[in-house]
């Protein structure tokens, strides 16, 4: 039996307009409680969108959506640029869908309920769990990016986060730094990136016979510049401050650097800084920021080509997890003018 | 008579698939020549999309597209964030459409040919002329942002560029600077921003009785960090280098600052720097970047509310050009530790 919007309205006792708002991702005028009722009913009644858009979607439209969590982080702009270029090469257009890390918006993306006219989706999720996503690829082609939804039945493109973090930490150790802090720990984080990067850091310390000082593990918040700045202030307040800081992304590293400048400390002489992402901002910073550079072009090409394979049906094997390469990019924030 | 894709195919002698690719913005597999033929035929035959999407579009879907030119410039991310927040307040979802400043993509946006399921479009165009856009609002609600398409029959939201540039220049003059360069001039630019900002600069010099030295007008290219860096190198190579530089955006200012650091020059003691945009990057730079800060929240709110008025038919008056406020944000790159 086909389930319609009105069935959900009847089942939940809310208006069809409200159900429609939820299905289209327009939450602003829907209370959290009603929203949840509708989302629960969609799941329970197994609602499938049954509108003209659904019919259209059966014919290829040459459009792919890239759903990403944070428009303020240039890392996602870089990946978006790479995806857009790779898609254009293959004759596809990209629509950017900015989910603001909101669980409901990400849910609608994977359930194909957002009013997109797209053949497939490249999703960097920050909130979903495996049970939230369709159990097979037949409900729409999806490729995952980022450190979440491991084990979901989709091709997944990312870097080896543990290895990347180990190499970043080893670089600081190789320069003789012995009190290496991290910035970017997030308790109960929805993405696994913080814990994977923390693992790599701990592995490197362990291999070097260094003790872990829990005081040197600083919070990451939203991984923005302001979070890096706040955590750097905390680290400077310690009785025994660090001589190097490994920031789990470049944005936090840039925030941390601004605090060191304010405090009159020298980078890297007093404190060396390394990040991850290789955003352009870090290349032009003073001093230029040492970082782990994921191959974002490859990431975009790989995600697009896996997705198009699924869309066209030429790729039928079981989903794979594809690691793209990264490299340590040494700049002045760790080695000074030696660079 | 309704014109179909096959009519365009017959008229131009290309395949229906090729016409479809052009209409959907998938240019990668279409030669420039064929693309132009198809676009000319679309115009000549007055093709209107006549697909299910067209029917759907008659019913509101609660979605607005924000079409913007440059994903590498955080200014557009900031505006995108502001638009997304303002739209959510009103119960609308935003789709981001990244046109890469490509004329054909922008054309498809304004002609409603892109496969969007949207009620209206907020467009920051970098390539279109007034004759490219529909002659009335009946073909879809559009609100313009940015310094182009003046005189088009749409509501238009922007800052007073001439006043902004005059105030930036006056700030440098008030600090006693007398050789003030600009970075950001673009010959035959498709946007009017460079020429409007140049006007404001010249007005301020004129009011202060300062002569204009054409050698101090440096190129802007794509207005990226690399362009600011290249032009700063040029300015430093002059026999009589500047004592201050007004960059037409913050990204170029950050590029210019990196070159001053490399050259061992002090900011602002040797050369003061000011930008426009107030991107976060500049707030965390070393030294922090003085800038002209457009009220981007207001810009987003204003564009969204004008557009929703057109979509709902509650706004019927003639199109208006709305100036949003801006303010001079003084930081260390012009006044040093006085700030």
Domains and CATH numbers, chain B: 1-47 (1.10.260.40), 56-159+298-324 (3.40.50.2300), 161-294+327-338 (3.40.50.2300)
- Across the interface, do A72 and B81 touch by the CB < 8 Å criterion? yes
Sign of CA dihedral B148, B151, B156, B160: positive
Pick from A213, A204, A197, A264: nearest CA to A236: A264
Token duo for residue A222: 């939203």
Radius of gyration of chain B (CA): 22
Distance from CA of B69 to the nearest CA of A (A): 12
pLDDT at B134 over 80: no
Distance from CA of B28 to the nearest CA of A (A): 5
Q: Which residues of B touch A28 (CB under 8 A)?
A: 88-92
> pLDDT grade, residue B116 (50/70/90)?
low
Cα–Cα distance between B291 and B278 in angstroms, integer? Answer: 6
pLDDT at A115 over 70: no
pLDDT in tens, A263-321: 999 999 999 999 999 999 999 999 999 999 999 999 999 999 999 999 999 999 999 99
- Across the interface, do A26 and B93 touch by the CB < 8 Å criterion? yes
Cα–Cα distance between A165 and A206 in angstroms, integer? Answer: 13
pLDDT in tens, A18-72: 887 777 666 667 787 888 888 788 777 777 654 444 444 456 778 899 999 999 9
The mean per-residue pLDDT over the stretch B96-115 comes to 81
Cα–Cα distance between B12 and B115 in angstroms, integer? Answer: 22
> What ipTM does the predicted assembly reach?
0.83
Least confident residue range of A287-301, B75-89, B131-145, B296-310: B131-145
Distance from CA of A30 to the nearest CA of B (A): 9
Residue B109: asked if its preceding bond is cis (omega within 30°), the reply is: no
Cα–Cα distance between A125 and A102 in angstroms, integer? Answer: 9
Inter-CA distances, A170 with A203, A208, A240, B72, Å? 10, 8, 21, 31
Token duo for residue A164: 């990347």
State the best of B54, B96, B275, B304 to mutate against chain A, taking most chain A CBs within 10 Å. B96
Burial B91-101 (b: 16+ CB within 10 A, else e): ebbbbbbbbbb
The reported pLDDT for the residue numbered B114 is 59
> pLDDT grade, residue B49 (50/70/90)?
low
* H helix runs in chain A, sequence order: 5-12, 16-23, 32-44, 52-58, 74-89, 103-110, 161-174, 193-207, 225-236, 250-262, 280-283, 296-312, 332-335
Cα–Cα distance between A238 and A231 in angstroms, integer? Answer: 11
* Cβ neighbours for A298, distance < 8 A, ≥ 6 positions apart: A324, A325
The mean per-residue pLDDT over the stretch A153-177 comes to 97
Give the chain B residue nearest A105 (alpha carbons): B93
Sign of CA dihedral A225, A226, A227, A229: positive
Q: Which residues of A touch B55 (CB under 8 A)?
A: 52
The reported pLDDT for the residue numbered A105 is 85
- Across the interface, do A80 and B97 touch by the CB < 8 Å criterion? no
pLDDT in tens, A225-264: 999 999 999 999 999 999 999 999 999 999 999 999 999 9
The reported pLDDT for the residue numbered A58 is 54
């Amino acid at each position: 039996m086909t389930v319609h919007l009105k069935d959900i309205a009847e089942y939940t006792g809310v208006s069809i307009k409200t159900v429609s708002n939820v299905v289209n991702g327009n939450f602003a005028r829907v209370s959290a409680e009603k929203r949840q009722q509708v989302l629960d009913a969609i799941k329970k009644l197994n609602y499938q969108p049954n509108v003209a858009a659904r019919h259209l979607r059966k014919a290829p439209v040459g459009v792919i959506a890239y759903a990403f969590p944070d428009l303020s982080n240039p890392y996602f702009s870089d990946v978006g640029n790479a995806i857009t270029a790779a898609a254009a090469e293959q004759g596809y257009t990209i629509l950017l869908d900015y989910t603001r890390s909101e669980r409901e918006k990400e849910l609608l993306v994977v359930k194909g309920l957002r009013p997109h006219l797209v053949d497939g989706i490249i999703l960097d999720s920050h909130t979903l769990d495996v049970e939230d996503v369709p159990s097979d690829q037949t409900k729409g082609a999806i490729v995952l990016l980022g450190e979440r939804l491991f084990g979901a039945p989709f091709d997944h493109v990312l870097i080896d986060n543990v290895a990347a973090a180990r190499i970043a930490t080893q670089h600081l150790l190789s320069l003789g730094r012995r009190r290496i802090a991290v910035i970017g720990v997030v308790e109960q984080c929805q993405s696994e990136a913080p814990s994977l990067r923390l693992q790599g850091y701990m592995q490197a310390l362990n291999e070097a016979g260094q003790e872990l000082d829990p005081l040197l593990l600083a919070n990451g918040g939203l991984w923005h510049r302001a979070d890096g700045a706040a955590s750097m202030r905390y680290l400077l307040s310690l009785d025994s401050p660090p001589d190097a800081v490994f920031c789990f992304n470049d944005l936090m590293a840039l925030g941390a650097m601004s605090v060191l400048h304010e405090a009159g400390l020298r980078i890297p002489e007093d404190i060396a800084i390394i990040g991850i992402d290789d955003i352009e901002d870090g290349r032009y910073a003073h001093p230029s920021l040492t970082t782990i550079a994921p191959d974002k072009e490859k990431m975009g090409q790989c995600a697009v080509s896996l997705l198009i394979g699924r869309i066209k049906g030429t790729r039928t094997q079981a989903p794979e997890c594809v690691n793209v390469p990264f490299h340590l990019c040494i700049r002045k924030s760790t080695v000074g003018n030696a660079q």
